[in-house]
Chains A and B, each alone.
Chain A
Amino acid sequence: MNEQGNNNGDNEDTLVVESPVPDDQQVPATETVSTLRLVATLAIAGALAGLLIVLLNQHTKPIIDKYKAEQLKLAVYEVLPGSEHYNTYYLIEGKLSPSLPDGAKENDYKRVYVSHSKSGQVKGVAISRGESGFQDVVQIIFGFDPTTGKLLGMKVLDSKETPGLGDKIFKDRAFVDQFFAGPETPLTGVKAGMGKGLPTEIDTITGATISSKAVINIINHALEEWRPVLDQGIPPAPTSLPEGEVQQ
């Protein structure tokens, strides 16, 4: 850091204790800049910066949104095997609704993704939820059939579990496949090979019991929350999809 000027530093070094001049007057007087100019400079710079960001945001936002929607679509189709189309339902005052009230923000409401068959029957519901695992929050999405109470599938969306151990909750095919085999809910986690053959059992991963149980707990807790809502019945799918809905 040789470039750094040392005109300020010298001043402090040579400061003598019995100096009659107050400290602040020892600093060589530089041209004083009016406060107005300081504020104006920063305001203009801020405005320019804001403008730049807005311009780029307009360009990148559609790409980002499209990617997010794409990822969500893939995830929903993965946990609701065989579906080709789904509708987003929002939880509004304890009831499911396929559309938002006017002027409401999408992110203010909890939601599920419902897949219908051609005849309008509900084929499955995809629910996303996150809870803490071994390291950090594990975010998963899972498919659920409200008529039979069975699981249809599960996908880990985000996890920071220990590589080599906890990350088996999405890398270990044998573990993940259990959720696609239609287990009944609420799930119970059992040690591999120690189960009694009940339809609710999920074999946990050896060495990653906490992470596997976290996945099971997330599903159970999510269903505890959503079961009452889903049992009230799901309103029929809107005939014409509102704007912004993902459509295949």
Chain B
Amino acid sequence: MRKTTPSQDLIRGIWEENPVLIQMLGLCPALAVTNSVKNALAMSAATFFVICCSSVLVSSCKRFIPKEVRISAYILVIATFVTLADMLLQAYAPVQHKELGAFIALIVVNCMILGRQEAFSAKNNVYRSLLDAIGTGIGFTIALIMMGGFRELLGTGAFLEYSVFGPNFEPWVIMVLPAGGFLTLGFILLAMGYIEQRKKMKALMAAEKAS
């Protein structure tokens, strides 16, 4: 197993192993609720809460969880926090809760969270697990805000409900519909793949020059 430093644990999830854009995990919420920045933020906040709490709990209780039932135990932990997040959102942000609808409850099956428990929290201490969860949570938030921003900008001509293009802007309705989620994700992945390819080509050229 590769040894990592605490700062690596934190940073890794943000970009290098971004859960949505690189690992392609947690795509369901990333596609479903990113039709506005506000919804993306609410979803990110709920997910952030769930992943941090779950990681801390799982890593601190890992000694008591028998290997045979670990997945059920993780799901139980995650589901508990999701229910808590659901009730909190409903009480304190009812408008957002109504917008997100069933997708809050569906955080339970966000494999990004389960993946972090199985891959990291179950094998590392509480401190490291928390760092890892925070990093992953931030990475998820960044991806969702990128998608939400793009979709809201084209779909309604606004950013965080603040009009950017003026009142005459013709909204691209498709962007706030589910199809827009797939298109946006495709666009972002295309751009990232292109940048990555350019980087590799440059490195290759430099290596060739050096030799």
Contact = CB atoms under 8 A, between A and B. Distances in A.
Interface of A: 1-5, 30, 33, 37-38, 41-42, 45-46, 49, 52-53, 56-57, 59-61, 63-64, 67, 158, 162-165
10 contacts: A3-B1, A3-B119, A38-B68, A53-B87, A56-B84, A64-B87, A67-B91, A163-B171, A163-B176, A164-B171
B34 to A, nearest CB: 15
B73 interface: yes
A158 B98 CA distance: 9
Given A38-B68, A162-B173, A163-B155, A53 B83 contact: yes
From B124, B171, B173, residue with most partner A Cβ within 10 Å: B173
Contacts of B98: 158
A41 B87 contact: no
A224 to B, nearest CB: 29
Given A53-B84, A56-B88, 7 more contacts: A33-B66, A41-B66, A49-B77, A53-B80, A56-B84, A163-B177, A165-B173
A64 B80 contact: no
A38 B171 contact: no
B90 interface: yes
Contact of B76 (A37, A42, A63, A163): A42
Contact of A63 (B68, B77, B92, B176): B92
B123 A164 contact: no
A57 B86 CA distance: 10
A136 B155 CA distance: 20
A63 B91 CA distance: 6
A2 B69 contact: no
B72 interface: yes
B65 interface: yes
A67 B1 contact: no
B90 A38 contact: no
Contacts of B90: 60, 64
Interface in B57-111: 64-69, 72-73, 76-77, 79-80, 83-84, 87-88, 90-92, 94, 98
Contact of A163 (B65, B94, B173): B173
A45 B120 CA distance: 20
A205 to B, nearest CB: 15
B2 interface: yes
B79 A1 contact: no
Contact of A4 (B23, B84, B119, B171): B119
A2 B176 CA distance: 36
B64 A41 contact: yes
Nearest to A39: B69
A45 B91 contact: no
A49 B87 CA distance: 14
Interface string B1-24: 110000000000000000000010
A67 B94 contact: yes
A236 to B, nearest CB: 35
Contact of B72 (A42, A61, A63): A42
Contacts of B118: 4
Contacts of B173: 162-165
A1 B68 contact: no
Contacts of B119: 1, 3-4
Contacts of A158: 98
Nearest to A70: B94
B1 A52 contact: no
B73 A41 contact: yes
Contacts of A67: 91, 94
A27 to B, nearest CB: 12
